Amino acid sequence: MTARGARYYAKQQGLLTYLTGKPCVRGHLSERDTSSGGCLVCKRDMEAVRVAADRAQYNARKRRERQIHLAVIAERARLARATELPEQRALRLEKAKANAKQWRAKNPKHHLALTNAHKKAVKLRTPAWADHDAIVSVYKNCPVGHQVDHIIPLRGETVTGLHVAANLQYLLAAENRAKSNKFFPK
């Protein structure tokens, strides 16, 4: 019967890594993976070599994994939002606002670049014949709890619209976020 070591006890405790105090075959004195018993530094080095060998294949694999992962996360979030209480929703939205404000404070140049890109898109897609007073009145008369949305988005994936009064509509904030830059023809 063999003695039980650090890996056995790490598995029993549900840990992902463990330390043996002994160097690996390549001389690294680092944590080891509980599932395989391999050195994490060696594992990272081998992954770097594999990635360098075929960057395009690695990027494609990561893109596929990310898409699968995002779909699972989105579904979990949708289910959580469907069952949350109004107090929980208010708390979640308040936290999101605080996080956004904190991000803008940490990344002022990135935020400025995004703002400028939006302003540029609006300017590029506002024709000379557009009635600026009508556009301003649409924004001024926006009902409380609603946002002004472009029916045909300014930077859509398949089609782009103009920044004119006829292309503006009022949507609830949640609907506007869900619509994003998509166009749903009637």
Which among 64, 66, 96 has a CA at the least distance from the CA of 177? 96
Q: What is the pLDDT along the chain (186 residues), one digit of tens a residue?
A: 456 888 888 888 988 899 888 898 899 988 999 888 899 999 999 888 888 888 888 888 888 888 888 888 889 888 988 999 999 999 999 999 999 999 999 999 999 999 999 999 999 999 999 999 999 999 999 999 899 999 999 988 888 899 999 999 999 988 888 888 888 877
Cα–Cα distance measured from residue 30 to residue 55, given in angstroms and rounded to the nearest whole number: 27
Cα–Cα distance measured from residue 33 to residue 46, given in angstroms and rounded to the nearest whole number: 14
10 Å Cβ neighbour count for 1? Answer: 3
Pair 180, 150: CB distance under 8 Å: no
pTM more than 0.85 = no
Cα–Cα distance measured from residue 71 to residue 64, given in angstroms and rounded to the nearest whole number: 11
Pair 167, 147: CB distance under 8 Å: no
Domains of the chain: which residue ranges?
1-83
At 121, the amino acid letter reads: A
Cα–Cα distance measured from residue 24 to residue 57, given in angstroms and rounded to the nearest whole number: 29
